[in-house]
Chains A and B, each alone.
Chain A
Amino acid sequence: MTAGVVDAAQPAAVVTEGLTKRFRSGQLAVDGIDLAVPQGSVYGFLGPNGSGKTTTIRMLLGLLRPTAGGASLLGHAMPDGAAEVLPRVGALVEGPAFHPYLSGWDNLMRLDAADRTAPAVSASDRIHTALDRVGLAAASAKRYRHYSLGMRQRLGIAAALLRPRELLVLDEPTNGLDPQGTREVRGLLVELARGGTTVVLSSHLLAEVEQVCTHVGVMHRGRLVAQDTLEALHARGAPRAVVTTSEPAAAARVLAARGLADVSVEPPGASAELGSAAPADLVAALVHADVPVSGFRVSATDLEELFVSLTGEGFDVSG
């Protein structure tokens, strides 16, 4: 069910072929997945907890060795191409991690010093810019141990943005942020994507993925069960006409009379597959039939329904 989403004109930023990880415990965490993240896309990497998302990201970054298959980032095979390609990749993996007794500034300085492609003379500028982008400039001198969860998450994002990046791999970047912070991070991602940065965004917040992503991959028990553009995934489901009314039975009769399939009565209203019917005509027909319409909407398949249909579960932990 892994639809190829890459065409020749758009080289992929991330490609995996049969990427597999079996841990020494025997657990098959990732089972032969073929990811294809087109350059310039914002790729939502979805899946229940324990479905293999983080293990996949760790293999992409060269932290884990695949048991079978391979991965390449920006055209370089991993992990052999790490020195060449990782300076162009910003990452947030499984939450932020810093030295608690160092300040936010000093922690970024440590990472900058570790990057052998980063010129020392411009370190302060880079750190200042990165802290500014995530709104941490005022707290830069504070020790990391005194940061709140949201501030820690922001510092993690700042570390990922220390250098200009062609690819960002962000694992749950809005975890622990308040609604304002979530909005800010979302805005930042959209801005980066507009600038041409490819973003791989692992998330369990479906609404967030729907708002910012162009492509979606869904993991389930170590397998990639769906991968496509967001539009194509939406088109997979049939949109439904949903009427809210005090007379559901009458509304259902009208919808059936207009030839709509799968009519169902669900107080406080009725719904049916929209098919080729024009929503405006349906409303007119309902009003003509004296159905007291208090609401009418067309529901696209949302990601959540799709997700449940693909994985057969909600966001429970897979075994």
Chain B
Amino acid sequence: MSAAEVVAPTRARGAFGRFFRSELWLIFGRRRNWIGGLILAAVPILIAVVIKASGSSGGDTFLFGQITQNGLFVGLAALTVEMPFFLPIAVAAISGDAVAGEANLGTLRYLLATPVDRTRLVLVKLGGIGVFTLAATALVAVVGAVAGLALFGGGGFVTLSGTTLGFGAGLGRLALVCLYMTLCLTALGAIGLFVSTLTEQPIAAGIAVLGLTVVSQILDQLSQLSAIHRYLPTHFWYDYGELLRDPLDLTALGPGVLSALVYVAVFTAAAWARFTTADVSS
């Protein structure tokens, strides 16, 4: 390896994809995240088993009431109970870790000296958060659907409008709910990414994001603050119920989708602005 052999560096083909896969492998190869996944997946199994064992007709709410008719509703019910807290915990942990975790380990300085362009790093980290979020919601839905179908079978899929859909259409509605939740949670992840550029403590960043989630949901309950409700990051999270109506009206989700996209754009830009000018002294 003599200096004479050194050639001017050129960009290797597929370099961005390779770095992105490396990021996914870092997230999905980590034992801590597998344990988190097991906890997320345990909820739908718990719901299915308890309802089956009790022999009751499900529950008082619409979603729980449908479980014994159609197993897919185990997935929907599990997503509903995990959306306020469990799923945000997972997203807060991953997004808080994004930059702060690398800074905390010191690997950030070696990535930047490699060099990794800081804009590229922000995009790869955001992409990693997005893929993880999709995987987390899909995990809950799939485990719920499989456990539900095994225990209760797949009957008619009753909508909130009272009509009954076929199995395939019901599966499609479940997938749409997953996608909508993924978008909402990715907005939370973008906030986490920004917080993660402010500190070298990944746990602190994660807790801050989780705290924000809880506070936002509390504020959303106070009718005196209704003027600001639509600006809260969690306000439109439960609009996915619109996806269970017949006929399907996707425009009802417009405000939620818009809110999430604005949150992603604003906080990714903030993370970029902060990170590209920051001194890295960790």
**Which positions in A face B, CB cutoff 8 Å?**
40, 58, 61-65, 82-84, 86-89, 91, 93-95, 97-102, 109-111, 113-120, 159, 161, 164-166, 192, 195-198
Contact present for B11 and A117 (CB under 8 Å): yes
Which of B16-24, B173-181, B238-246 is the contact stretch? B16-24
A63 touches B279 (CB 8 A): yes
Out of A40, A93, A100, name the residue touching B105 (CB < 8 Å): A100
Q: Looking at the complex, which one of A114, A119, A120 makes contact with B116 (CB distance below 8 Å)?
A: A114
Contact of B9 among A87, A99, A192 (CB under 8 A): A87
Question: B222: which A residues are within 8 A, CB to CB?
Answer: none
Interface membership of B117, Cβ < 8 A: yes
Output the residue of A89, A114, A118, A195 with the most chain B CB within 10 A. Answer: A114
CB distance from A119 to the nearest CB of B (A): 5
Checking B26, B106, B113 against A110 with a beta-carbon cut-off of 8 angstroms, the contacting residue is: B26
Task: Tell whether B250 is near chain A: CB-to-CB under 8 Å.
Answer: no
- Taking CB atoms and an 8 Å cut-off, the chain B residues in 1-16 that contact chain A are 1-6, 9-16
Number of interface residues of B (CB under 8 A): 39
A167 to B120, CA, bound (A): 24
B81 at the interface (CB under 8 A from A): no
Q: Top 4 A-B pairs ranked by shortest CB distance?
A: A97-B106, A195-B2, A196-B3, A116-B15
Q: Which one of B1, B26, B111, B279 has the greatest number of beta carbons of chain A within 10 Å?
A: B1
What chain A residues lie within 8 Å of B4 (beta carbons)?
A: 195-196
B112 on interface, CB distance cutoff 8 Å: yes
Q: How far is the CA of A113 from the CA of B12 in the complex (A)?
A: 10
Q: Kindly provide the distance from the CB of A19 to the nearest chain B CB, expressed in whole angstroms.
A: 14
Task: Determine whether the beta carbon of B281 is less than 8 Å from that of A64.
Answer: yes
Nearest residue, chain A, Cβ from B112: A63
- Indicate if the CB atoms of B5 and A164 lie closer than 8 Å: yes
Residues of chain B from 90 to 143 with CB closer than 8 A to chain A in the complex: 105-107, 109-117, 120
Are B281 and A58 closer than 8 Å at their CB atoms? yes
Distance to closest chain B CB from A27 (angstroms):
12
B280 at the interface (CB under 8 A from A): yes
Docked pose: A109 CA to B3 CA in angstroms = 23
Residues of chain B from 190 to 232 with CB closer than 8 A to chain A in the complex:
none
Given contacts A64-B281, A101-B30, A116-B11, contact A82 B2 (CB under 8 A): no
B-side contacts of A192, CB under 8 Å: 1
Max chain A C-beta neighbours (<10 A), residue from B5, B10, B115: B115
For residue B280, which residues in chain A have a CB less than 8 angstroms away from its CB?
Answer: 58, 63-64
**A25 → chain B closest CB, angstroms:** 11
Q: B14, B18, B107, B109: which contacts A99 (Cβ < 8 A)?
A: B107
Is chain A's binding surface mostly helix, strand, loop or mixed? loop
Residues of A within 8 A of B5 (CB): 164
**Can you add 19 more A-B contacts, CB < 8 Å, to A40-B3, A58-B109?**
A58-B280, A61-B112, A82-B115, A83-B117, A86-B114, A87-B9, A98-B107, A99-B26, A100-B105, A101-B30, A113-B21, A114-B19, A114-B111, A115-B115, A115-B116, A117-B11, A117-B12, A120-B12, A197-B1
Q: In the complex, which residue of chain A has the Cβ closest to the Cβ of B31?
A: A101
- Chain A residues in 8 Å Cβ range of B117: 82-83
Residue of B nearest to A87 (CB): B9
Q: Within the complex, which residue of A61, A88, A114 is in contact with B6, where a contact is CB–CB below 8 Å? A: A88
A63 touches B281 (CB 8 A): yes
Contact between chains at A116 and B19 (CB < 8 Å): yes
Given the known interface contacts A98-B105, A99-B105, the answer about A116 and B12 at a Cβ–Cβ threshold of 8 Å is yes
When the two chains form their complex, are residues A88 and B9 in contact, meaning their CB atoms are under 8 A apart?
Answer: yes
Which chain A residue has the least Cβ–Cβ distance from B21?
Answer: A113
Contact call B105/A109, Cβ cutoff below 8 A: no
A/B interface sample: 10 pairs, CB < 8 A? A91-B113, A94-B106, A109-B22, A116-B15, A159-B110, A161-B1, A164-B2, A165-B3, A166-B3, A195-B1
